[in-house]
Chains A and B, each alone.
Chain A
């Protein structure tokens, strides 16, 4: 009897953080020891796979015996011997450790294009990618299609840029093709800087070859012989896997001179970003690749006319490029069968925040927000009330609970004052203060502003200062109007996308949560009890057991009381750090 056994361990950043490497090591050890004891011959392979999506349950492990897959969740190294013994040797899966309904629900409404091989194949092995049809698209394009025909397919598929602006990819390539120049470039923008977004990281970590293939096909279409991947240095794993994938692609003659004997030359270099959000903006990204400060310049001329070192340059986002090989392989019609009329295909989102199933999801455009949050996300953590979802990161906005049935596509989100953006989706519940959220994003954009243009450099600073005074109880009567007026002027006058969209979180929270602003300004109250200057801590006598834990932890010496008797907080001494609230086991510290 010969059994084909595969064990797949999640080794995305989430998996690694949860101890994936230790789990792999444990499996290797146990299999070795068990292998000697067991008389049954076994063909065992151990794969490292990329992101599986549901990072909240990491480490996820698949055990596949003769094609029968069992998926385990929350696996720790000490659980491995049990799996090896009971499941692999004795053939009885440990049901208690397998994934539950949540895992299945999480996947049920997803449609995977970009992520179809992510989490399934070993990203460090090109043959794994080739085995599932990888590089077929490259062969097809290079040997049987003209650049014009290729562009036509992409245009027909309706693919739009997944980096934020949603510019039609086919059209961009066509402009790149038409640009007259000896030298052209294609750049993959992997500078995923949005806080709350990790789609691009996951795709590069999970299936780097799809991105490389997308770049080869793009380069062929516009006649570029050089490509760059601009990737954040903060993503070391992604960089390492990409580097390895490029080497393998070169060895397999998919990159370099005379690719597949077609006479087409193309190679890719990695450029590491150095930590500046603004470098996600095309012209700043180009400046950064050239080794300069990433300060955007005015467009026109657009990069496709005058880009890297003055040459025509097409810049595509990671997810956009990773879609390309699948579109070529399965056809434009197949791709455009997903999504809505104007937003075709699927979109990868990073679902995070106060939702039960945080992770990476891929859904057809036009799915409702409700389906994402409740069906895929499993609802709100602790079953608290859903308040809003923040999409599009610092350039986006907050969509309130009452709009939960809107469709998620480029147009619908723009209509309600937010954007799809790169695909960050942070779910907020009743314990999140919307003014604080707006302030958080302004802190971010302010610290990431390059400082070139006045409205962004000084304007966002002033916006932030107004938000700071509102959240600390010093808000003035006309501050909301001032915020709105300044926001609109910053949007109209800023040089680049960063400044033009920086006020969006302010405007959208004012639009939907004006009452929270009012509460801060007029009543000097933070309804979500987040803004610490507007909080008062007090001890509820009937719950207090007089254990003294709060007294010991209070850094300001504001708490007094005898042992076993109710304590009190002196509001004049209290610095509102919340330490007493955290430590109290009896819910005897109230804030409000």
Chain B
């Protein structure tokens, strides 16, 4: 971890970085922002850890806990909302057995997140599965995707 953090620190110095860019890089490297990484940078940069924590909890992009391996992002913008994104999300959470307030499945295979708008409203409702954008998503297609991903894991 230390090596990666040092690399990010170098990048920070070179590219007039700031708390946000540092954490974006930390998240890119680890998939989330470990507490130790914040504390390490806080010491190196002499910026209070409280500031990192404040910024990390302000922006939706940042995650302070490890996340599921497959990330399913459901768009909840207006167009998706009127085209039934709620039903997709509820179905998805049910399929993955996600309890209220939990975004990751117990086996850490799946993470479900809602985003405000991914700007692909004309093909609403939109679901992004592992960075691939699916437009005009239906409950059946989504379940099929999930089943495929689950199947992949079983094979592997």
Q: Which residues of A approach B to under 8 Å, CB–CB?
A: 13-14, 16-18, 54-56, 58, 192-198, 201-202, 232-236, 271-277, 288-294, 350-354, 358-360, 390, 393, 424, 426, 428, 432, 437, 440-441, 444, 448, 450, 555, 577-578, 582
Contacts and interface: CB of A to CB of B under 8 A. Distances in A.
B111 to A, nearest CB: 15
A193 B116 contact: yes
A448 B116 contact: yes
B74 interface: no
Nearest to A290: B18
B79 A294 contact: no
B123 A276 contact: no
B24 A272 contact: yes
A440 B60 contact: no
B9 to A, nearest CB: 15
B123 A293 contact: no
B134 to A, nearest CB: 6
Contacts of B81: 195, 440
Contacts of B148: none
B119 A17 contact: no
A236 B131 CA distance: 9
Contacts of B151: none
Given A196-B78, A290-B18, A358-B124, 18 more contacts: A17-B123, A56-B123, A58-B123, A195-B76, A195-B77, A197-B121, A235-B119, A236-B131, A275-B59, A276-B59, A291-B17, A291-B18, A294-B58, A294-B59, A360-B122, A393-B78, A424-B121, A582-B139
A55 B136 CA distance: 11
A440 B117 CA distance: 13
B19 interface: yes
Nearest to B80: A195
A289 B55 CA distance: 12
Given A17-B134, A275-B60, A353 B79 contact: yes
Nearest to B51: A292
B21 A291 contact: yes
A359 B117 CA distance: 15
A352 B119 contact: no
A437 B121 CA distance: 16
Given A14-B135, A196-B79, A359 B119 contact: no
The secondary structure that dominates the A interface is mixed
A109 to B, nearest CB: 18
Contact of B58 (A276, A358, A437): A276
Q: Select the residue from B121, B133, B134 with max chain A CB neighbours within 10 A.
A: B121
Contacts of B64: none
B115 interface: yes
Nearest to A428: B82
A198 B58 contact: no
A77 to B, nearest CB: 15
Contacts of A291: 17-21, 55
A7 B105 CA distance: 44
A358 B121 contact: yes
B156 interface: no
Given A234-B119, A291-B18, A426 B58 contact: no
Contacts of A293: 54-55, 58
Given A16-B133, A353-B78, A274 B121 contact: no
B60 A197 contact: no
Contacts of B59: 273-276, 294
A18 B135 contact: yes
A444 B80 CA distance: 13
Interface string B79-121: 1111100010010001000000000000000000001111111
B62 interface: yes
A130 B9 CA distance: 38
Closest 9 pairs between A and B when the two form their complex, measured CB to CB = A291-B18, A275-B60, A195-B77, A198-B119, A274-B59, A196-B78, A55-B122, A358-B122, A352-B79
Interface of B: 17-21, 23-24, 51, 54-55, 58-62, 76-83, 87, 90, 94, 115-124, 126, 131, 133-135, 139
A18 B120 CA distance: 11
8 contacts: A14-B123, A17-B120, A55-B123, A192-B119, A272-B21, A292-B19, A358-B122, A555-B94
Nearest to A192: B119
Contact of B20 (A236, A288, A350, A578): A288
Contacts of B121: 195-198, 350, 352, 358, 424, 426
Given A56-B122, A196-B121, A432-B82, A17 B58 contact: no
Contacts of B55: 291-293
Contacts of B124: 352, 358
A442 B53 CA distance: 27
B44 to A, nearest CB: 15
Contacts of B60: 274-276
A424 B145 CA distance: 30
A293 B55 CA distance: 5
Given A234-B115, A291-B21, A426 B79 contact: yes
A358 B78 CA distance: 13
B122 A351 contact: yes
Contacts of B122: 14, 54-56, 198, 350-352, 358-360
Contact of B77 (A14, A196, A351): A196
A274 B119 contact: no
Contacts of A428: 82
Nearest to B90: A577
Given A58-B123, A275-B59, A195 B54 contact: no
Contacts of A582: 139
A406 to B, nearest CB: 20
A55 B123 CA distance: 7
A295 B151 CA distance: 44
A353 B122 CA distance: 8
B118 A234 contact: yes
A435 to B, nearest CB: 14
Nearest to A232: B119
B24 A426 contact: no
B82 A426 contact: yes
Contacts of A193: 116-117
A503 B105 CA distance: 36
A274 B79 contact: no
B78 A424 contact: yes
Nearest to B75: A195
B82 A13 contact: no
A195, A275, A288, A450: residue with the most chain B Cβ atoms closer than 10 Å: A195
Nearest to A205: B119
